[in-house]
Structure 1
Amino acid sequence: MSWVTLIIKADAANAELLSDALMEQGALSVDIHDAAADTQDEQMLFGEPGEPCEEIWRNAEVSALFNQDADIDEILSNLTHIAQPSSQLDFRLERVEEQDWVRLTQSQFDPIQISQRLWIVPTWHQAPDPGAINLILDPGLAFGTGSHPTTQLCLGWLDQNLRPGAKVVDYGCGSGILAIAALKLGASHVTGIDIDSQAIKASQENAARNHCAAYQFFFTTNHQTAIRDLQPEDQADVVVANILANPLIMLAPILAQLVRQQGSIVLSGILRQQAAEVKDAFQQWFDMDSGNEQQGWVLLTGSKR
């Protein structure tokens, strides 16, 4: 059995209209994504935490999955009232063959070596180095498998700089990978904070899988709750936040309050061209430095004055 994917380029004005129309034409699924995803031209979209983002990519692609016997010519013809005439639609077709999807997914995630002593190992693999610090982690609903440069930048910093016994806050904890790494690298206590309930669930499951008990979680749709629930004596030695540039700028006052004097802030999810603006947002509390860079993503760190 196989399927066919119809992928149509669309601007912001037409993408959602095409998505709805394709579902009406019998598509099994439809998604809209940035046509420039994973390139330097990728367009970042931001919204308020807990609220849907009202923007859409200027140059989008609408991808619709159909059964192999779908009449694609007729479907394109029926879209003429939505956007351009079908003869001018910028589209392509891709065939999707029946596969062992579980095995295929697993094959895309091999163990990742972060440093000489730190590895990320999916549950279906044997640890390449049983004597290393191995983070046992599977891909799931929350961000943070270890494959993205921003996660690797944060892990590298923790591996090189985290002091034994430190208190750590992982703000936007996602899968919990950074919090779990901090504990395995010697932190005495870690708090994970996220506005996504799926992230909290994933973090709890991954912490249990890695036998990490000294790990608290907060789920909040209001960032001020994190400040209210954490007492002054619980200010962290290290706050790590691997999110995105605009949310980091918005959260700067909150993140600053979570760090003790002389403590460290570690920020990632920042493209090279966004680094100066993020650094400026934190300068009033921290002596900021630029850290390592990987594939156009940068790490910013700072010491609280």
Structure 2
Amino acid sequence: MSLHKLSVHTHAAQLDAIEQLFTDHGALSILLEDAGDYPLLEPAPGEMPIWPDTLMAGLFADDHRFNELQQALQEQFGIPLAHIRQELLPQQDWVRTCIEDFKPTAFGSRLWICPSWHTPPDPQAANIILDPGLAFGTGTHPTTAMCLRFLDAHLQQDHTVLDYGCGSGILAIAALRLGAARSCAVDIDPQALIATWENAMRNGVEDWQLSIIPPAQIPADVQFDLVLANILSGPLVALAPTLAGLCRVGGEIVLAGLLVRQVAEMTEAYQPWFSLQQVEEVEGWALMHGVRYHDG
């Protein structure tokens, strides 16, 4: 089925009313995009921030009411015709396209991430079955890919691993596949904890191997051999004392989700406990590694 797309450049105050107008005119779905330069990186659970300048796009099965919709946008909301765009999307099997785009991917020499509709290319490898789903983390983003490659190359057998900001749980599960003794997956988002549990069950992870908890439930006296935090620079800076306290002296920390230009800020924030070094860069994203050298 071909789809017709109508996009309109608007402002946050008008979004609800325009969304209702699109729905009244038969929109199958409505998409929102940043029309300016206001990144919304990691809102807290329950928050739904929106961009001041927004591009709203509606998908329609046909275009028989587009003229009426355009007229309403102009008359009711004062939106000039130049801010309204129509286009015809070619007929396509969107489900098949998604399946074809997500293929088995190797991260280092031993680790593979495979969608459920593919047979793992190397049955003897550390294979993780993972489909796109509720939470961030399939290995396609540079920050996740760098963390996975680090685990493949450097994880020591029988170490304990903390995945702070676990998303889909991919790093905690990968650590277990690569020989970690136990992993703990932590996230403030309940959807991430659900996704991690589902992915752990799909990959045959035993309950005793993996704890899946919100931050408040981390035991006060526990420390890990390796702490992984693939979040964003702001939370990483704020969490420096917390993450340092969760890493044993002599243990390691890996930080991702930060841009190369934020490396100096991160180095300073963690200096009381770690001597951080940038160990990889991909598309402007940096991966940092350090060893906990004293109690701080």
The two structures share one fold, judged by TM-score above 0.5: yes
Separation in structure 2 between the aligned mates of residue 14 and residue 268 of structure 1, nearest angstrom: 36
Correspondent of 1:180 among 169, 173, 182: 173
Q: Which amino acid aligns with 2:182?
A: H
| Alignment-derived partner of residue 55 in structure 2 | 61
Change (3 A) 1:67 1:186: same
Identity, % of aligned positions: 41
| Alignment-derived partner of residue 6 in structure 2 | 6
Q: Is 2:26 aligned against 1:26?
A: yes
| Alignment-derived partner of residue 108 in structure 2 | 115
Deviation at 1:187, TM superposition (A): 0.7
Which digits, 9 at most, give the CA deviation of each residue in 1:19-57, with x for residues without a partner?
A: 344334432321212247xxxx6724443x324143x33
**SS of equivalent to 1:181:** helix
State the superposition RMSD in angstroms. Answer: 2.3
Change (3 A) 1:243 1:96: farther
Q: Which runs of 5+ in 1 are unaligned?
A: none
Structure 1: 4+ residue segments shifted above 6 A: none
Q: Is 2:242 aligned against 1:254?
A: yes
Change (3 A) 1:167 1:11: same
| Alignment-derived partner of residue 79 in structure 1 | 73
Deviation at 1:152, TM superposition (A): 0.5
Q: Which moved more, 1:158-167 or 1:15-24?
A: 15-24
Deviation at 1:90, TM superposition (A): 4.5
| Alignment-derived partner of residue 271 in structure 1 | 259
Q: Which moved more, 1:27-36 or 1:152-161?
A: 27-36
| Alignment-derived partner of residue 133 in structure 2 | 140
Change (3 A) 1:81 1:2: same
Would the aligned equivalents of 2:2 and 2:88 in 1 still touch at CA under 8 Å? no
Q: Which runs of 5+ in 2 are unaligned?
A: none
Provide the aligned length of Structure 1 versus Structure 2: 291
Change (3 A) 1:260 1:20: farther
Q: Which amino acid aligns with 1:290?
A: Q
Separation in structure 1 between the aligned mates of residue 30 and residue 266 of structure 2, nearest angstrom: 35
Alignment of 1:211-230 (within 5 A): 211-213=204-206, 214-218=209-213, 220=214, 223=215, 225-226=216-217, 229-230=218-219
Would the aligned equivalents of 1:46 and 1:246 in 2 still touch at CA under 8 Å? no
| Alignment-derived partner of residue 237 in structure 1 | 225
Which digits, 9 at most, give the CA deviation of each residue in 1:193-252, with x for residues without a partner?
A: 11222222221222222222211111x3xx4x14xx3242x3011111112222222222
**SS of equivalent to 1:80:** helix
Q: Which amino acid aligns with 1:74?
A: E
**SS of equivalent to 1:286:** coil
Separation in structure 1 between the aligned mates of residue 230 and residue 166 of structure 2, nearest angstrom: 8
Separation in structure 1 between the aligned mates of residue 45 and residue 195 of structure 2, nearest angstrom: 18
TM-score (norm 1): 0.86
